[in-house]
């Protein structure tokens, strides 16, 4: 059994998308993370070294979204999952990439993709 650490609503500005105007103008992406990890050692030691530094991880995720544009949110979600799985102790991650400004010719509130990835998969 693992514990879950959630970081919700990480707002980033990126230039991802299939269309030229998305690459030129950029747009807001919002990232939600749920990390699966065992927090018992940190609970006993009360030491940041025994858990995930979610402040540092958020910075890495933000940088991962705000650099190196890609066409698809599927590619972006995988990039974010890979970054999270590099953190010591993270057994799995659930990443949701929200693209509220997606170029859709209809009234909508959000486009979101959620993926779950595990270590060694």
User: Catalytic: 99?
Assistant: yes
Cβ atoms of residues 92 and 117 within 8 Å: yes
Q: What is the distance between the alpha carbons of residues 117 and 89, in angstroms, rounded to a whole number?
A: 14
What are 64's two structure tokens?
A: 């991962």
Measure the CA–CA gap between 112 and 96, rounded to whole angstroms: 6
**Catalytic, out of 99, 102, 109, 120:** 99
Segments in 1-121 forming alpha helices (H) = 20-25, 40-45, 54-66, 73-85
Take residue 106 and report the two structure tokens written for it: 């209809």
- Look up tokens 């990890």; give the residue: 37
Residues serving a catalytic function are: 99
């Amino acid at each position: 059994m693992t514990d879950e650490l959630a970081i919700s609503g990480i707002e980033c500005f990126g230039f991802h998308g299939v269309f030229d105007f998305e690459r030129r103008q950029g747009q807001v992406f919002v990232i939600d993370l749920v990390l699966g990890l065992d927090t018992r050692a940190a609970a006993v030691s009360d030491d940041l070294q025994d858990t995930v530094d979610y402040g540092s991880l958020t910075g890495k995720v933000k940088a991962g979204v705000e650099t190196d544009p890609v066409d698809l949110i599927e590619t972006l979600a995988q990039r974010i999952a890979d970054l999270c799985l590099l953190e010591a102790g993270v057994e799995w991650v659930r990443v949701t990439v929200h693209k509220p400004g997606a170029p859709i010719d209809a009234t909508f509130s959000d486009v979101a993709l959620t993926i779950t990835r595990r270590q060694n998969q």
